[in-house]
Chains A and B, each alone.
Chain A
Amino acid sequence: MKNIIIIFNRELLSYFSTPIAYVFLVIFLLLSGSLTFYMGGFYERGQADLLPFFSFHPWLYLFLVPAISMKLWAEERKSGTIELILTLPVKVSEVVIGKYLAAWFFISLALLLTFPIWITVNYLGEPDNGAIISGYLGSLLMSGGFLAIGSCMSSITQNQVIAFIISVVVCFIFLLSGTNLVLDFFNTWLPQGAVDAIASLSFLSHFSSLSKGVIDLRDFIYYAALIGFWLYINIELVNIKKGG
């Protein structure tokens, strides 16, 4: 546990000692704001809620979370620091979790900084703040899911661009696994049971109920299992392929 905290602190410090943190925060806030107002029709809808705000989060995360996660392991491999960190007396699992939590904390900070929109909607009307909190929670969990996939994908290569592209693709499949676009692809050669299982993995369906204020334990279990699964694979991949 102590090691996880030390790794966490180092990682978080490194975000803010490079331009990554500031570029990410600005882009995230600009995009989430403008999408809400222009494409989401925040005013025109005439409803005091944050649905147009949350509905763009999956698409924002699809590109922005892999942009954060791509460096997690690929950079360690490229620069050789993986050899430094893994010959220190730490467990691979501690490094994986410490890095993951630092990145997640950073994304949650970006999410927290969107609070002016919450103030705005409270100023303009009387929204259901419980639903808004549930929406933020859902968004946070979803970003954690994307991040776990991204971290895992980052560990298979030393090339950050490859890590980014593969992460986006895998996240995209998970995001849309409930839609026909993905299901049709699997329908042709997988049994119905497996296709149904894939459909139930969709990020979107597990996020949409939370974003509407419906807190369902199953959604929490889904995200916890998803994050646990990908981080487990991540640990194994680092263990298997330390060198090259």
Chain B
Amino acid sequence: MIEIRHLYKQYDNTNVVEDLSLDINKGEVLGFLGPNGAGKSTTMKMITGFIEPTSGKIKIKNLSIKDNSLEVKKYIGYLPEGAPQYGEMTTYDFLVFVAKIRGIHKNQLSEAISMVVENLSLHDVLNKRIEHLSKGFKRRVGIAQAIIHDPEILIMDEPTDGLDPNQKYDVRELIKKISKDKTIIISTHILEEVEAVCTRAAIIAKGKLLFDDTPKILKESGSGNLDNIFRQITMRSSS
């Protein structure tokens, strides 16, 4: 579904992403792990076509992003880092706006919106301005706009950041629920999350892929709990 080959991204002559190659298939939930500044967000921005790689190729459903960016963007739902939204809009107006841009037909508009409102429990904030919402609600509105067109590919940059434990649980359950026929990439710092929802874990640090296997093998690959293993893998690269 997603094919990444020898991906590089340079800023001011330093490699933020270095020779990254990955294949992500339908039905997989890939947990993208790494310390801050590892290149997770940059990689996601390249997959969604927001920024262009310095070199390397990304193909989505066998279409090169570079040549078919408009087509490819239709397949993707994306929650950018920090869940940016138009604060002066109400939740409802914002969702309608995204749905319209996504080309959802008028007849299906209310159905699509009630689906995401239901899934993310947004009933109470539908007519509130987004700028007045709590961090948790903002994040949920961000997820709602990402899944409103029922995308085949879902990319979420730290979807549970800023949520309380109950909300985290809900979002994880939602990801599990919708993951069957989708390809999902989530980035996170939280290792339990990978264990809870991901079928595959990829660890990157300093732009390089250090580990790519199932969460189970990740857990068995070192001593102690997941946090320790994560530290071992990522520190090894910096020493």
Contact = CB atoms under 8 A, between A and B. Distances in A.
A89 B74 contact: yes
A80 B80 contact: yes
Contacts of A86: 50
Interface string B88-102: 110001000110111
B66 to A, nearest CB: 13
B174 interface: no
A180 interface: no
Range of interface residues on B (Cβ < 8 Å): 20 to 34
A10 B94 CA distance: 9
B73 A87 contact: yes
B101 A18 contact: no
A74 to B, nearest CB: 14
B80 A89 contact: no
Interface residues of A, number: 21
B142 to A, nearest CB: 8
Interface in B29-83: 45, 48-51, 70-71, 73-74, 76, 78, 80-82
Interface of B: 45, 48-51, 70-71, 73-74, 76, 78, 80-82, 84-89, 93, 97-98, 100-103, 129, 145
Given A7-B101, A14-B86, A80-B84, 19 more contacts: A13-B89, A17-B89, A18-B88, A79-B84, A79-B87, A80-B81, A83-B45, A83-B84, A84-B80, A84-B85, A86-B50, A87-B49, A87-B73, A87-B76, A87-B78, A88-B102, A89-B103, A90-B101, A91-B70
Interface of A: 3, 6-7, 10, 13-14, 17-18, 79-81, 83-84, 86-91, 242-243
